[in-house]
């Protein structure tokens, strides 16, 4: 690993994450400014730690000279949505953007993992401008509902404790929790229009309170 200057190696990935977070947050803002439902609720991002990269290199037998092309999630973006339908809307938005290129998709919603994990993964190629010119970075975008994200966060925390080898009872409870989480998403989708109408009402009401008319004054 000494051949890789890690601080220098990770700079473009950090730049990519910072730029993508701004772009997706601005996209959410654009929907809201136009008084439209935003399929994006929250945007977060991270760059893998050096220890995490090294561990995955060992586990996946990734060679140093193939690291940039074989490890697709060094730069990671997570987009949280209110509804399952929003996830697919976000995926469509990624396809029509001209500042990135979708190169791979994995739908773990229609085809959940045995553990119960659900999410939609999109790998993009994203160009950044560096001091030495343009560099194309691979980044993974995970798109999921708030409920899916809650389950995934808990499962990830438990994974640190058990290193993936969950006791049978914990494993079964996680699976049941994943199904309950997805049932919640399905129920919310059934009353989606009612929820959006209510949210719009509160948004309009807040705007009216913040901008009173002359009569109200």
In whole angstroms, what is the distance from residue 87 CA to residue 41 CA? Answer: 11
Catalytic one among 8, 64, 125, 140?
A: 140
In angstroms, the CA 105 to CA 124 distance is: 9
Radius of gyration in angstroms for the set of CA atoms belonging to the chain, rounded to a whole number: 20
Sign of CA pseudo-dihedral 202, 204, 207, 209: negative
Which regions of 30-165 does DSSP assign to beta strands (E)?
42-47, 75-81, 101-107, 120-130, 133-145
Q: Which uninterrupted H or E stretch holds 177?
A: helix 168-190
The answer to whether residue 68 is catalytic is no
* Paired tokens of 140: 């993974």
Strands 133-145 and 75-81: parallel
Q: Which residue has tokens 């009353």?
A: 191
Question: What CA–CA distance (Å, rounded) separates 172 from 150?
Answer: 17
Please report, for the chain, how many H helices and E strands are present, in that order: 7, 5
CA atoms within 13 A on the CB side of 158: 16
Which residues are annotated as catalytic? 140
């Amino acid at each position: 690993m000494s051949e890789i200057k890690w601080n220098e190696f990770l700079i473009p990935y950090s730049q990519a994450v910072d730029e993508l977070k701004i772009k997706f947050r601005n996209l959410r803002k654009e929907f809201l400014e136009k008084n439209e439902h935003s399929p994006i609720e929250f945007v977060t991002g991270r760059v893998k730690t050096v220890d995490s990269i090294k561990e995955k290199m060992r586990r996946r037998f990734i060679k140093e000279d193939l690291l940039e092309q074989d490890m697709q999630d060094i730069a990671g973006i997570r987009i949280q949505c209110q509804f399952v339908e929003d996830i697919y809307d976000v995926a469509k938005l990624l396809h029509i953007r001209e500042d990135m290129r979708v190169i791979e998709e994995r739908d773990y919603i229609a085809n959940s993992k045995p553990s119960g994990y659900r999410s939609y993964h999109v790998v993009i190629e994203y160009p950044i401008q560096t001091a030495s010119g343009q560099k194309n970075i691979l980044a993974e975008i995970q798109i999921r509902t708030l409920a899916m994200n809650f389950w995934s966060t808990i499962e990830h925390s438990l994974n640190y404790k058990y290193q993936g080898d969950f006791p049978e009872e914990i494993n079964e409870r996680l699976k049941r929790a994943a199904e309950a989480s997805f049932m919640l998403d399905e129920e919310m989708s059934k009353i989606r229009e009612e929820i959006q109408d209510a949210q719009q009402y509160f948004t309009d009401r807040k705007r009216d309170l913040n901008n009173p008319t002359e009569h109200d004054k």
